[in-house]
Amino acid sequence: MMPCLAIGAGLSPRIQSPCVTGPDGQEHITEEAGITAPAGAALRVEMLVGEGEGVAHGQPVARCRDHPEVCFTAPMAATVASIRLHPGRKLSEVVLFRDSGGDSHHHPTQAETPAALRRLMQGAGLWQSLRRRPFGGMPAPSETPSALVVMAADTRPHAPDPRRALKGHEEAFSRGLAALATLTEGPVILCQSRGDALFDKGLAGGRITTVGTGPRHPQGLAGFHIHAHTPAALDCPVWDIHAEDVAALGDLLATGHVAATRLVRVAGAALRESRVYRTQPGADLRGLSQSLMLPGPHILLSGSALDGRQAHWLGANDRQVTALPREAAPGKRHWFLTALTRSALPKPVIPTSALTQAFGAALPAVALVRALASGDDETAMKLGVLSLLEEDVALADYVLGGEADLARLLRAALDRIAAEFAS
């Protein structure tokens, strides 16, 4: 029996969505796709292709100006339709039109050393699948993590099961996991739902530890496992990565080609039916959902109903598309009524069991929420805020009715801590 280091019961938020219909994991490649920066990042890039040029699947199309070894690659064989950059040559989006007869770019697979593995991941566009804590975003090219957490569980409402994503890719997953273990001398922790082990015990010299997760949210999020088992610190970064991206690395090492698809669930209350597709990274959300939509206005989120964001393209690390009915904007209230009924001070946080479970019973929920609301960064750090990202507090925001706006407060605290640490 695998060791199970449970972090608490969690919750099961009821997010309305129709049942899944159609073939499980049917391939659905959209005619358009977009290459965008990871959420919250403002990356200065140098374009390697121009508008109107044809690109092969997996071909580098842009690279970071500050770290030119880190590339963004084409998620499909395509023609570059448009390139949009913000001032300062910061990446907004690169729009691609599918070329069904295009080629696949081959990457060199000599990765016998950790340095060579880094170069391969960075050149093939897989470096963006790594997320660092504290502060989020992808790691610096030369950074060495104090620990690595692999997520083979996802408890967001209507998230696709990572075990289904790994079906048929078990060897690639073991190959990628063994390779990733060479990037750190610290622990490698695989978080998986209860069931059969996903790798052999002797892999990577027995350095990999398996941690069980329950079915309730947020047990399938990396932040609380990082806090419980290997807390991130200012001088001890921790990386996390999705298990399907580990399998993609294993396939890259074996074939030299970037994986063409990932498992994505299309769900939400604005749909008449839900589907699980295999689609390309950066897929067009409209192309994935248009045939499933109910009549009426709606919004499309890249991500879950709890932590997703309105978008046109599937996010770099997202595996859900959520379609929600667009609610009519409420009428504007008179300023005097607003002044009488709404305090200028934040509403007090009432300790409840639901709030505690929204943090997986792994953190002192009320104390952390109050520290974030008051801007007490020192206390927040002591309570474990450096291991968290916005997705980790999304369920607490849901429990509090969105009044606390914890995701914004957390990001503000992390930005202040990062600025002070860099000075």
Average pLDDT over residues 416-422: 93
Percent of the chain with pLDDT over 90: 80
- Among 225, 160, 217, residue whose Cα is nearest residue 387: 225
Q: How confident is the model at residue 67 (pLDDT cuts 50, 70, 90)?
A: very high
Each residue's pLDDT tens digit, 126-173: 999 999 999 999 999 999 999 999 999 999 999 999 999 999 999 999
Q: Are 156 and 392 in contact (CB under 8 A)?
A: no
Query: Where do we find the tokens 């994986």?
Result: 259
Predicted pLDDT at 87: 93
Identify the residue with better confidence: 241 or 360. 241
Q: Are 178 and 157 in contact (CB under 8 A)?
A: no
Put the strands of the sheet holding 45-47 in their side by side order: 45-47, 60-64, 71-73
Question: What would the two tokens of residue 377 be?
Answer: 């960064």
Q: Model pTM?
A: 0.93
* Residue 314 CB burial class (10 angstroms; 0-12, 13-18, ≥19): buried
Predicted pLDDT at 331: 64
Question: What would the two tokens of residue 309 be?
Answer: 């964001």
